[in-house]
Amino acid sequence: MAQSNIIPRIGLGTYRLKDQQVIDSVKSALALGYRHIDTAQIYDNEQPVGEAIKQSGVPRDEIFLTTKVWWDRFRHDELIASLEESCRKLAVERVDLALIHWPSPNDEIPMAEYIGALNAAREKGLARHIGVSNFTLAHLDEALSVPGGEHLITNQIEVHPFLANRTLVEHSQAKGLEVTGYMPLAVGKVMNEPVLRQIADDHDATPAQVALAWVASRDIAVIPSSTRPEHQQANLAALELTLSDDEMARIERLDVGERIANPDFAPKWDA
């Protein structure tokens, strides 16, 4: 089971960032004080992320580095080989957190095989911690029940004001897992939401900062993606923003179950 706050409260997401853009973004974030960088095999940017970490001058042991295994490499030996490849690309001996990116589509690969392989990779020293991403209630319960599942520390899921994901967040936390929230800004949609704009005005903040503060206040680690240093700095500052109970409730009412990350191989969602 998870200990408290293994995962830094805020990190930099690198989805869709490539080549020099991701190098510049990661270096800027690290210079500003970020210490969590989130990537994935399918993002095709592990090598430049590793280059950015090297160029940053920040000691490796100060950085919490996450990557994710794609579902075409879930067979036991292939999963371990894929994480060896990720570490080579990232130019690190091990990552701090290795995640199963999505449940195996249609449960083609037995969960016991790929969770077991993920734990074997941890035991081999390829990852300090392991976890899952985009797991439903049923997938999560199964993952925790198979050998190796006791070492899972997080479920990384989509969370933003338009998709509060309350049941899954609370279930994950009740099981002792930390929750990592991706797309916390709903790919920029939060910027034009009237309630968020009003609350932001009351705090001399931005709607993005209000959205991040709301997610973080639920004891969820946030990993917004940003390429601009001024936005990265503002995202960091959002963690210092305190929302009132009334403001929290107003934001809660924005939840309409709007899911952005919903590919055709996604599992059957709980809600």
Active site residues: 43
CB-CB contact of 265 with 71 (8 Å):
yes
CA 29 to chain centre: 16
Q: State how far the Cα of 9 lies from the Cα of 90, in Å rounded to an integer.
A: 22
Which class for 229: exposed (0-12), middle (13-18), buried (19 or more C-beta within 10 A)?
middle
Q: State how far the Cα of 258 lies from the Cα of 159, in Å rounded to an integer.
A: 10
Q: State how far the Cα of 199 lies from the Cα of 230, in Å rounded to an integer.
A: 21
* 63: enclosing H helix or E strand: none
Closest CA relative to residue 184, chosen from 156, 205, 204: 156
Amino acid at 270: D
Q: State how far the Cα of 271 lies from the Cα of 223, in Å rounded to an integer.
A: 23
